[in-house]
Chains A and B, each alone.
Chain A
Amino acid sequence: MAYAEDDSHHDVPQTFIRKYVWSQDHKVIAVQYASVAIFVGLIGVLLSNIMRLQIGFPGVFDFITPERYYQYVTMHGMIMVIYLLTALFLGGFGNYLIPLMIGARDMVFPYMNMLSFWVYLVSVIVLLASFFAPGGPTGAGWTLYPPQAILPGTPGHEWGIILMLVSLVIFIVATTMGGLNYVTTVLQARCEGMTLLRMPLAVWGILTATVLALLAFPALFVSGVMMLLDKTLHTSFFMPAVVSMGQMSDYRGGSPLLFQHLFWFFGHPEVYIVALPAFGIVSDLISVHARKAIFGYRTMVWAIVIIGGLSFIVWAHHMFVSGMNPWFGFFFATSTLIIAVPTAIKVYNWTLTLWRGDIHLSIPMLFALAFLCTFVIGGLTGLFLGNVSVDIPLSGTYFVVAHFHMVMGVAPLLVVFGAIYHWFPKITGRMLDDRLGRWHFWVTFLGTYLIYFPMHYLGVLGMPRRYYNWEGYQFIPQSAFQLNVFITVVALAVGVMQLLFVYNLVHSAFRGVKAGANPWRAASLEWFTPQTPPQHLNWGPHLPVVHRWAYAYSVPGAAEDFIAQNAPAGDGGHEPQPYGTPEAVATR
Chain B
Amino acid sequence: MKKMFAAIVTAIYGLMLTAAPILAADGQITGSSNVDASVKVLGMCSLNVNTVDIDFGDLLEGATSSSVARSADLTTNTPTTVTIFGTNWIGLTPSNNFGVGQTEYGLDVAPHIDLDLNPGTTLFSSQVDAPHNVNFQVTIPPHPQPADTYSQTVTIGFSCDQD
Tell me if chain B binds chain A.
no
Q: Which residues of A contact B (CB under 8 A)?
A: none
